[in-house]
Amino acid sequence: MKQQALMAALALGATAVPVQGPAQQAMQRPTIVLVHGGFVDGSGWQGVYKILRKDGYTVRIVQNPTISLAGDVAATRLIVDAQEGRVLLVGHSYGGAVITEAGNDPKVAGLVYITAFAPDKGESVNSLIKDPPPGAPVPPILPPQDGYLFLDPRQIRCIVRRGRERGDGRIHG
């Protein structure tokens, strides 16, 4: 019966276009959207991007402005909205707070936190680092100044420098 209906539609000049239902969409790989942490930019995902692309994934990297959480969530949502199918949001460090906020989009198939903040409703990165449990690592972030966060230069033990000429990173103490 379906074949007869399709043939009749084609005979009348209609164009047959495959329609993707939920089952077909679920079988497609989601686009992986990488969200960087604070005090860095999207280039830190370069190695991960190359590996995922080599494995056949579609990958996007959000370049957050890191001026405000709301601005970073908006930048992430722009990338999510630009994708055709479902996306998997991946956040590192502060990027976890960003994907937590941006992750309520129906296109989002899941959230992946890589050494990232995962605030509950009503929590913020500031509230999470304000009073850490005993023995927990404490990031060298100074109290906010006029709404901006800064790293404490006295507490930073190493700086990561991109080794652009060799294509790798170097850690210096």
Q: Which comes out higher in pLDDT, residue 1 or 21?
A: 21
Measured at the CA of 160, the angle between CA 158 and CA 166, to 5 degrees, comes to 135
Question: pLDDT category, 19, cuts 50, 70, 90?
Answer: very low
Rounded mean pLDDT of the chain?
A: 78
Q: How confident is the model over 57-114, as pLDDT tens digits?
A: 999 999 999 888 899 999 999 999 999 999 999 999 889 999 999 999 999 999 999 9
CA distance 117 to 105: 19
Q: Where are the domains of the chain?
A: 27-121
| Architecture of the domain delimited by 27-121 | 3-Layer(aba) Sandwich (3.40)
